Amino acid sequence: MALPTIPAYDPPAAALPKSRAAWDLQPDRAALLVHDMQRYFCRPFDAGGEPLASVVPNIARIIAAARAAGLPVFYTAQRGGQFRPDRGLQADLWGPGMSATPEHEEILPALAPQPGDHVLVKHRYSAFQRSNLAHLMRARGRDQLIVTGIYAHIGCLATAAEAFQRDIQPFAVADAQADFGAEQHARAMDWIAGCCGVVMDTVQALAALGEGERA
């Protein structure tokens, strides 16, 4: 039931699926989500290899661009030592989860939250479940969500799907997400592109956030 060891693979960087939605990412409407980039969830990857070798710097660049453009930056982070009934059905599939230690709970230092960012306690696959993410976005006039992090075919996909169902436009950054493998990653991007959101790469996301204009 534990997380699998994840073999190295190259994150998608070309030939992204064509998105059914024709939405444009707009900085004055968007918020950024850094999804579950905690040590526990990153541990199954080779820390020095792909996909994290590309994904972590890509997320870091998007975070910097988002902050510079004035976007709200949200993080999800589970807490360790969860009460079994509160963990619910996730325990049946994934076991007890992480321990209440920095070695498990800490967000990767390269992506660490800064003052003004919002860290949400994660309870279920979707970042919207049992959190106030939707309320915080609406209060700030945001109806677009950039989704980065792990795992693409689980929490990132579930978050994008729920965003769509809440009339929030999701933008999945394919090479700023990682997954159990290339096949699962590609399937997640295909599903999002076909059913609920826009799939883009880091270069496109940074251009939409005006990184080049500020430089």
CATH number at residue 91: 3.40.50.850
Residue 92: is its pLDDT beyond 70?
Answer: no
Residue 36 annotated in active site: yes
- Residue 112 domain flag: yes
Strand-by-strand arrangement of the 144-150 sheet:
118-121, 73-77, 30-35, 144-150, 169-178, 198-200
Residue 76: is its pLDDT beyond 70?
Answer: yes
Q: Are 166 and 196 in contact (CB under 8 A)?
A: no
- 8-12, 24-28, 147-151: range with lowest mean pLDDT: 8-12
- Residue 4 domain flag: no
- Residue 182 domain flag: yes
- Residue 95 domain flag: yes
Q: Which residue has the higher pLDDT, 47 or 30?
A: 30
Strand 169-178 versus strand 30-35 pairing type: unpaired
Predicted local confidence at residue 31, as pLDDT: 98
Exactly one of 36, 175, 179, 201 is catalytic; name it: 36
What domain range is 90 assigned to? 30-214
pLDDT per position as a tens digit, 154-166: 999 999 999 999 9
| pTM for this model (two decimals) | 0.93
- Residue 106 domain flag: yes
- Residue 13 domain flag: no
SS3 158: helix
- 26-30, 61-65, 133-137, 209-213: range with lowest mean pLDDT: 209-213
Residue 100: is its pLDDT beyond 70?
Answer: no
- Give the chain's domain count: 1
